Structure 1
Amino acid sequence: MNPNPRRWLILVVLCLSTLVLVVDNMALTVAVPSLAADLGATAQDMQWILESYMLVFAGLLLTAGSLSDRYGRRKIMIIGLALFGLASLAATLVTGPGQLIAARVAMGIGGALVMPSTLSIMITVFTDENERRKAMAGWGAVAMLGLVGGPVLGGALIASYGWESVFWINVPIAVLAILAAGTLMPESKGPQVKPDPLGAILSMVGMVALVWTINEFAHGINWISMGVAVVALAAFIGWELRTPYPMVPLKLFRDRDFAGGSLSLTLVQVGNGGLLLVLTQYLQFVLGYTPTQAGLAFIPLAIASLIFNGVGAGLGAKLGNKLTAVLGMLVMAAGFALLATTSGGFVMVAVSQFVLGAGAGLAMPTAIAALMGAIPAEQAGVGSALNDTIQQAGAALGVAALGSIATGSFTAAMPAGSPTSIAEAVANPALAAAAREAYASAMSSTSLAAAAGVLGAAVLALILLRGRQVGAHAANTPRTDKTPVSA
């Protein structure tokens, strides 16, 4: 099969589409203090402003991936970008936390339509193993640039134009990505199969209920939502295994590379998703950073990630995906452990972020390359969405679980009757010193929990991922046969 002559330009479009999603999430974390003050948002409100996007995103990814395979990956991606941009405009006009949560839900729907198309188009356009590895490394580097550039840009914009500007910056990126996709990208579809509306409904209900349950852990177990999550997800798995036209090819989990890559990345995202929220508040409320300074504090993470993204691609080709991914995850766990030493102030934060970035640069591209190589080309959209769903669920669970750990630890260390929000506590001169000390302790507890999650990811990768594979298409070329994958 001849390679697409526009494949590198198409990669630019895919990177832009991913960039708009990443920049928004990271810029928003820097805006937390400004949002809380301007909109009168409580700690629970802020958690839901962040959580609602990921909750809807994770709940709709599988359906969006199926739609992209059925109706066209470029078409669905453009629709998602347009919805994301319009919802971002709406977010600039809100006057209360409830309205902003609604806008974030709409942004989550748009993001869910965009994300599955990026990786699915990538694995269909880049058919050569070495080129695909380079493309994924480049895509990962751009995502990391957005991850860190988001807080930097967001901090600068907030200082000059207010928190609304973190949503304004989404609009030109979305418009540029839409124009580039329409001009450069060919349409691609999977085979036409019968729709699976019951599977779509069960997956959405199950994921929403699961994230809702974990988000409420700080206030006690919500047995109703937990019951809904267990029943809906169990019914979803049972139905997908039984129906002749499943929305999700669960047989992919019989492939060790897909299972090991996706499940280990889930645990990595649990650590990443929750800790970044806690870290941005630590920098501003405990160390006294402005939004701009808090954004600039993420630069060590960006530099290390950009450097080690390239190093990881080279090591993956020489050592194989398994060893490179495990090494990167161990380095990440060390970075989280260093971050638990918050008494070191900014120096320790900078060093720990550099170590985190180095580990992420080694681990993420190789783990993604391993699992994407197990997906049949004709199921690229829903297979990519399955991976994205697992990871986004991990990120959502991370915000919920680690956010709950941070809130619980902070509340336990404060005097009885004190506010549960660090923003409210530091505003009270009588509580400010105790609040900063309590939040530093909460930061340590959350960092150690994240380190434990990434260590678990390394163990999963070590057990499940295959060792180094020989051959041009051994590990990273999509399967084109229709036989069931097996371990």
Structure 2
Amino acid sequence: MSAAVLEGREKAPATSLWAVWPAILGLSVVFLVEMLDNSVLSVALPTIARELHATASDLQWITSGYSLLFGGLMIAFGAIADRYGTRRMMLIGLSLFAVASLAVLFVRTPGELIAVRAAIGITAAMTAPGTMALCFRLFDQENLLMRATSFIATVGLVGMAIGPTVGGLVLQVLPWQTLLVMNVPIAVLAFFCIRRGIPADNPAQRNTTPLDLFGAMLGTTTLLLTLWTATLAVEDGWGHAAPWLSAAGAIASAVAFVVRERRTTHPIFDFALIKRPAVSASLAYEAAMGLGMAAIAYSVSLQLQLVWGWSPAQAALGNLPQVVVLIAIGPFVEKIADKLGTQRAGALGAASVVAGLLVYALLGRYDYVFIAIALALTAAGMRVVATIAGVTVMRGLPEDQTSTGAALSDTSQEVAGSIGMAVTGTIVAAAIAGSLTSVGGSVTAAHDFENAVTTATLVLTAICAALVIWAARRSTKVEPVEA
């Protein structure tokens, strides 16, 4: 039998998650590594600074370099995967991801570590669009898709939440390089699980239009500059020229990208797809979730440690309500969607995020119990939204654009999260005279910090609420029937 025929063969749709457990395991592991990679390394930054004699600027690039390239390249790699094979792109990306992670053993300078982190970010962006796209290749039944997506999302979100704790425990007994080297066996496991459990790419289901390289370059530049602007705003503040220049470049690149994509015969992404109510509403929900995650992630740990004087270990334990709820609610997401319908369930999940943000903004400074409630509400809401919005976006796109759609969904969260961090960081920096580490030194500084966090969280809550209301109204619109 010819290779082309073998490549085009498809397995029958699975009737349970257990029937395709190697594939589910592999995709879950990929998503876990994507969520875990940056958070697990953050706790090692002081050690890295000492051993490599890294400056504050070096440390910024070590963390930002990965995030920028990961978030900025996903849509471009999604478009490439739709044309040349999603499974193939995933396997190539995993192989290169393992090699890039192993290269940390040869790092001797901060510049070399920055290069390694950049390579890891690029290879992670190669794998990211395929996670949900390949999951959709396994099932026809909506309930199984919901269940599989929920499981994969749970693994990733829990990984992100426990990343600093895992990193801290590893550093107690092993060198910091271990945090990146442990990516290698994980990538190898994912490679063989996906190779065994997911059928080869079918040429008939690929996007056959030419790849718009110039459009891809403009889109990637826009995302990179947007993410970089948010990073500069947090690190340097708007009092410097750098974030303004980066923002101007992002706007100019975005305008050029839109003009290019509307005029070219074969756009890298058809903007008409975003006009579909199900797709645009789900992306708005995803953006609201990204903003909510940014508000909670930035503020809670700082408050517990800088204002209340908790140790890093105590602060990690203080985030446990988030982890527990993320795990506990997973089995119920499908039931919630079945009982309420995906539209109402998505709106309910997003409303839970907004409610959690309000509880934290208004009451979080007074007692830990309110922080625990806020963490539980936001975690529950994010868990529901991540599953339902992800499935809805994928269902609303043509079969030959699933990788691009998955990348678009991930990017909306990434960009929204960066904007949320920039908003919070800017408001906090404007309210604090001096560095953040001096907050616990006086009652006045602590009070100013809490006021700034309240203001920032309320601002993000208002934006989240606006997105949720718009998405809820948008999702009720009926899609036009195509001839």
TM-score calculated relative to the size of structure 2: 0.85
Counterparts of 1:86-485 in structure 2, within 5 Å, are: 86-91=99-104, 99-161=112-174, 163-188=176-201, 190-217=206-233, 218-220=237-239, 222-273=243-294, 275-340=296-361, 341-410=363-432, 414=433, 418=434, 420=435, 422-423=436-437, 425=438, 431=441, 436-466=446-476
Provide Cα deviations, 1:218-261, integer angstroms capped at 9, x if missing partner. Answer: 23364432332122112212222222222112221121010010
Letter in 2 for 1:211: L
Provide Cα deviations, 1:390-425, integer angstroms capped at 9, x if missing partner. Answer: 222222333333333333333xxx2xxx3x3x24x3
Partner Cα separation in structure 2 for residue 52 and residue 442 of structure 1: 28
Deviation, 1:295, is 2.9
Most deviating of 82-91 and 136-145? 82-91
Instruction: Report sequence identity in percent.
Output: 29
Change (3 A) 1:263 1:37: farther
Change (3 A) 1:327 1:112: same
Letter in 2 for 1:397: I
Letter in 2 for 1:347: V
Alpha-carbon contact 1:49-1:101 (below 8 Å) kept: yes
| Residue 12 of structure 2 corresponds to residue 2 of structure 1 | yes
Change (3 A) 1:24 1:18: same
Letter in 1 for 2:94: L
Provide Cα deviations, 1:106-130, integer angstroms capped at 9, x if missing partner. Answer: 2221111011011111122222112
Partner Cα separation in structure 2 for residue 440 and residue 3 of structure 1: 52
Deviation, 1:355, is 1.8
Letter in 2 for 1:327: L
Partner Cα separation in structure 2 for residue 186 and residue 295 of structure 1: 40
Alpha-carbon contact 1:156-1:292 (below 8 Å) kept: no
Change (3 A) 1:447 1:94: farther
Provide Cα deviations, 1:185-241, integer angstroms capped at 9, x if missing partner. Answer: 222251332121111110111112222233333233644323321221122122222
Give the counterpart of 2:87 among 68, 74, 79: 74
Size of the aligned set, in residue pairs, is 460
Deviation, 1:7, is 3.5
Match of 1:343, SS state, is: coil
Deviation, 1:389, is 2.2
Deviation, 1:307, is 2.4
Provide Cα deviations, 1:348-405, integer angstroms capped at 9, x if missing partner. Answer: 3323211221222232212222222101112211222222222222223333333333
Partner Cα separation in structure 2 for residue 219 and residue 42 of structure 1: 22
Letter in 2 for 1:212: W
Letter in 2 for 1:253: I
Alpha-carbon contact 1:35-1:41 (below 8 Å) kept: yes
Letter in 2 for 1:258: V
Counterparts of 1:42-57 in structure 2, within 5 Å, are: 48-57=61-70
Partner Cα separation in structure 2 for residue 135 and residue 397 of structure 1: 30
Partner Cα separation in structure 1 for residue 455 and residue 370 of structure 2: 16
Partner Cα separation in structure 2 for residue 344 and residue 38 of structure 1: 40
Deviation, 1:45, is 5.9
TM-score calculated relative to the size of structure 1: 0.84
Please list every run of 5 or more consecutive structure 2 residues that lacks an aligned counterpart in the other structure.
1-10
Change (3 A) 1:30 1:381: same
Change (3 A) 1:297 1:55: same
Alpha-carbon contact 1:211-1:396 (below 8 Å) kept: yes
Alpha-carbon contact 2:34-2:156 (below 8 Å) kept: no
Change (3 A) 1:280 1:458: same
Change (3 A) 1:188 1:167: same
Most deviating of 324-333 and 270-279? 270-279
Alpha-carbon contact 2:29-2:186 (below 8 Å) kept: yes
Please list every run of 5 or more consecutive structure 1 residues that lacks an aligned counterpart in the other structure.
470-474, 476-483
Alpha-carbon contact 1:62-1:389 (below 8 Å) kept: yes
Partner Cα separation in structure 1 for residue 37 and residue 43 of structure 2: 10
Provide Cα deviations, 1:171-196, integer angstroms capped at 9, x if missing partner. Answer: 33222112222333222251332121
Change (3 A) 1:29 1:280: farther
